[in-house]
Amino acid sequence: MDNYQILSPCVNDSGFTISNLKKEYRVTVTHDHDVCGIFDFAAKNGKGKEVTSEAEKSLPYDKRTRTFVYDQQQLVDNPEQAAWLNETVSKQKAVFVTKDKELKAAKMEAVEKYGPELTEQKLGADFRVGVPPAFGTNKTPFVRGEVFKVGEYFVGLKTGTKDNVQFFQLVPVSNLLNGADEFKNRWKTINSRFKVGQNVEVRFDDKKKLQEVKSYTPKVKTDTPTNPADATLDTWTRRAEDALEAYDEHKKGNPEVTALAVSVKASQAASSYAHQLHQSGKLPPDGGTIEIPKEFQGKPELEEGFKIGFNDMYHNIYTANEKPLTYKTDEATQDAALDKITKPATAKKRAPSKKKDNKPSVSI
């Protein structure tokens, strides 16, 4: 009797619902996205009978729950079967917990890896789990993107962007395997098909089973600079604009834009500025004095951030040079900045600026 009573009734306990009825145990696998656990319950030696409803069977197989019935008297009379069932449930509960941890870890890995890129491009992150549905003129599902994670239960892809959101697809390994042999050698098979950093297109059949995996080359936007120096200049320009906008908001009293936030923006812009000077052959290898761009001069938060960012990038480029850098500003600009600090504000109305935007005019 003790052999089967270990299966205590529970509802949605680590992906399972177990019902202890008068003459039978009903084990319902409620967690989706991976059919591997179901294979264990459906094994012939388990002597369980599947009673999945027709309504459930009409759902995609990776979304339906599966229910298996075990005769209570058989469990009493057959200790080996009872032990097998207990062991299988325990094993699959452990699998569910492992999968859940892997899923959370994959999301964290994506955030850590692509976080700076998302921040720079002002993109949010949206994680989708499973096989995406077929859409448009495509009769069968497919997913396309850069592989960032190859795990035991999920393969992670960085897919497309839309409405300022970067999408990530976490495809269950069970959808990427076909046949008993591939499931038995799942780790070897998956690692032979997917490599981190590879751009792939994965197509599925109408049952969401793997149909094809092939490499593909992402399209390059035509407005993207092809010259590395031009690309870096574009980055400096964009980051400088962001820093200037942040400075303006801070001076307006926006509580969400602190002095530290302004300095961080300026530091990021300065890194691009130093990199651009290096690519154009104008970054002195022996240290010296660096002139702060005119747009940042006279603005303490921007100047301070610029020095930090430029200094860090400079010493990353010239690792052997430990000499400290010095910074200068245009004297007239500096005097004007000091006047703002030391002289009381006047009621004189400021003439409207001819400059319509914050685009930096620094010529590198």
Tell the CATH topology of 123-215.
OB fold (Dihydrolipoamide Acetyltransferase, E2P) (2.40.50)
Q: What is the pLDDT of residues 216-225, one digit of tens each?
A: 888 765 444 4
Helices in 72-218 by DSSP H: which ranges?
72-77, 79-121, 179-184, 186-193
Question: Which stretch, 78-87, 135-144, 205-214, 336-345, has highest mean pLDDT?
Answer: 205-214
pLDDT in tens, 161-200: 888 889 999 998 988 988 888 888 888 999 999 999 999 9
What confidence tens digit (pLDDT) does each residue in 252-310 have? 888 888 888 898 888 888 888 888 787 777 888 877 888 898 889 989 999 998 998 88
**Is residue 290 exposed (0-12), middle (13-18) or buried (19+ Cβ within 10 Å)?**
buried
Sheet holding 16-20, edge to edge: 16-20, 24-29, 66-71, 49-50
DSSP conformation class of 298: T
How confident is the prediction for the chain on average, in pLDDT?
A: 75
Domain ranges for the chain: 2-98, 123-215, 228-342
Place of tokens 């959101």: 165
Report whether pLDDT(49) > 80. Answer: no
